A and B are shown apart, each in its own frame.
Chain A
Amino acid sequence: MKHFLNTDDMTREDLESLLDLSEEFVEVLDRTIPKVPALRGKTVAMLFFEPSTRTRLSFERAAKALSADTMSFSPSTSSLSKGESLKDTALTIKAMGADALVVRHKSTGAQWRIADWTGLPVLNAGDGAHQHPTQALLDALTIRQHFGTLDGLRIAIVGDIRHSRVARSDISTFSALGAEVTLVAPSTLLPVDLEGWPVKVAGSIDDVLDVDVIYLLRIQAERGGASVFPSLPEYVSRFGMTRERFGRLQENAIVMHPGPMNRGVEIAPEVADHPRARILEQVSNGVAVRMAVLFRLLGGEVHDD
C-alpha cells in the first residue's frame, strides 16, 4: 500500500485485513505502556489546511504511539497566508524530511495532487466532501466490535449526505463489508445522482428505526434556512434522533456520530450520553485504526518515488 486515499477501490479483504490489524493496536493501546517502537526514526507530517482538532490529535497520538516523530502545520500561521502555493508547501515539508504526509484539505482530490508532486505516502484525513477513509475504518471497527461482523447488518446514515465525506467513505466501506445501507435525508441533502450507489433511500428517520445502526451526521447550522432546508426545528422533526425515537430502536441497536455533535439538533443530549451511543468508542478506535494505516504505509514497505 503506497497511499491511503479512499475507500472506494478497497475490497472486503483489504478492509478486513486493516480491521484485524487495527485490533492488534487496540491491544497495544490497552497496555500499561501503550507505545511500540515500530516507526522509530520516521517522521509523519500533519498538513491540515482546514481547521481540525480531533482528527489531527488522533493522528498525532497514533504516530506517537508508534514512536514516529510528528511535524504539524496549520494554515493560519503558515506561509500559505503569504501566498505560497500548496505545491511549494508540500515540497518544502518533504525537504524537511517527512516520511509520510497526513493531509486534510477543503478541495476534493488535493491529496492526489500532493501524492503526485511529492512521491511521499499520503494519508487522506479528509478532502472536500469526497473521502475520509480513516473515519470509515474506525466506524466499521466500532460496529464490528459490537456485532462481531457487518455482514447482514442494516445501517442507516442520517443527515447531510451530499456534503459529507464521512458518508461517502462509510457507504462504500459498510457495503463492501456486507451491510445494507439506507440514506435518510431531505432531497436537498442527498447527492444529486445516486446511480450505482449500493444504498436505499428513506425520507424520514421514522422509516428506519428498526435498523441495527443509526449513524447521525453533523448538521451545519448555517445550512438551515439559507438554502437546503427551511429551519432547524423542521429538520429535527423529520431527521433528529430524539429521546422518543431512541426508545423505539431495537434493544441491541447502536447510535453513532463522527463528531463534533450538535446536541439538540441531530442528536438529543440524553441519546448522546446513553451507553448505546458509541461516539467515544469511535474516538478511541480512531487512534488504533490510524496506527494500523500508518504502520501499513511506513512499516517497512519499500517506496520508490
Chain B
Amino acid sequence: MTQVMKPDEIERALRRVAHEILERNKGATETLLVGIHTRGAPLAERLSRVIDDFEHVKVPVGTLDIGLYRDDLDRRPTTELGATALPDDPTGKIIVLVDDVLYTGRTIRAALDALADLGRPRAVQLAVLVDRGHRQLPIRPDFVGKNLPTSSSERVTVRLQETDGEEGIWIEEKA
C-alpha cells in the first residue's frame, strides 16, 4: 500500500479547490456545498470552513445519500442509508457536489438524479479530492484536488479524520 497524499497535502489541495470555487462563483453567495455520503460530507464541511476563513462567507452545507438512486443495487447491497438534508431549497442555487474519489462517474449520475428530485438548481458543479480516471459516463469534475492516474486493478483508499480516525490517501493492488 503506497501513500499518495498525506494530511497536509490534503489540506493544501482543499484550500486550492476552495479558492477555485470562490473564483468561479464570484464569492459563492448563491452557492450550496453538498457532500455525498459518506466522505463527501466532511469534505464539504471543510471547504465551507476554508471559504469562511478566506472571505468570511458562510456557505451552507448539506448532505446527500445516493443509495436510493444507484443503478447497481442488485450487485451492491445498500440497505443502510445516510442522511439526505439540504440546508435550503436548491432551486435557483449553484450546487457544488463534493465527493472524495471520482472514478466511473456512476455515483455522480445518481447524485444528479437525486438532486433533480429535490429541486431545480441554476447549476451543478463537481468538486472531488481525487480524480482517478476510468470514466464510464460523460461526467467531468469542475474542481480536482489531485489527478491520480491509476489502473483499474488498483484500489484507492481515502481515510479522513472525521469518518475514519486517521487521514491520508493510499493506493494498492486489488487482492
Contact = CB atoms under 8 A, between A and B. Distances in A.
A300 B84 CA distance: 20
A27 B85 contact: yes
Given A31-B118, A299-B73, A24 B81 contact: yes
Contacts, number: 56
Interface in B35-76: 65, 67-70, 72-76
Contact of A36 (B75, B76, B78, B117): B117
A28 B73 CA distance: 18
B67 A302 contact: no
Nearest to B65: A24
Nearest to A18: B79
Contacts of A38: 67-70, 73
Contacts of A299: 67, 73, 77-79
Contacts of B84: 24, 27-28
Given A24-B84, A27-B85, A300-B79, A33 B74 contact: no
A31 B67 CA distance: 16
B76 to A, nearest CB: 6
Nearest to A299: B79
Contacts of B114: 36
Nearest to A33: B117
A84 to B, nearest CB: 32
Interface in A262-302: 295-296, 299-302
Contact of B78 (A1, A27, A28, A300): A300
Contact of A301 (B77, B81, B85): B77
B154 interface: no
B88 interface: no
Nearest to B73: A300
A31 B68 CA distance: 14
A24 B76 CA distance: 19
A21 interface: yes
Interface in B109-156: 113-114, 117-119
A299 B73 CA distance: 6
A83 interface: no
A32 interface: yes
Question: Which of the four size classes fits the interface of chain A?
Answer: 20 to 34
B85 to A, nearest CB: 7
Interface string B142-172: 0000000000000000000000000000000
Given A31-B117, A302-B74, A36 B81 contact: no
Contacts of B74: 300, 302
Contact of A35 (B77, B78, B117): B117
A296 B119 CA distance: 27
Interface in A1-53: 1, 17, 21, 24, 27-28, 31-33, 35-38
Contacts of A31: 117-118
B61 to A, nearest CB: 17
Nearest to B89: A32
Interface in A43-76: 66
Q: Which of B70, B80, B118 has the most CB of A within 10 A?
A: B80
A296 B79 contact: yes
A300 B80 contact: no
B83 interface: yes
Nearest to A297: B79
Contacts of A66: 68
B118 A1 contact: no
A38 B79 CA distance: 11
A33 B84 CA distance: 14
Given A24-B84, A32-B119, A38-B73, A301 B79 contact: yes
A28 B79 contact: no
Given A32-B118, A296-B79, A300-B75, 9 more contacts: A1-B79, A21-B80, A27-B84, A31-B118, A37-B69, A38-B69, A66-B68, A299-B73, A300-B77
25 contacts: A17-B80, A21-B79, A21-B80, A21-B81, A24-B81, A24-B83, A27-B83, A28-B68, A31-B117, A32-B119, A35-B117, A36-B117, A37-B68, A38-B73, A295-B79, A296-B79, A299-B67, A299-B77, A299-B78, A299-B79, A300-B73, A300-B74, A300-B77, A300-B78, A302-B77
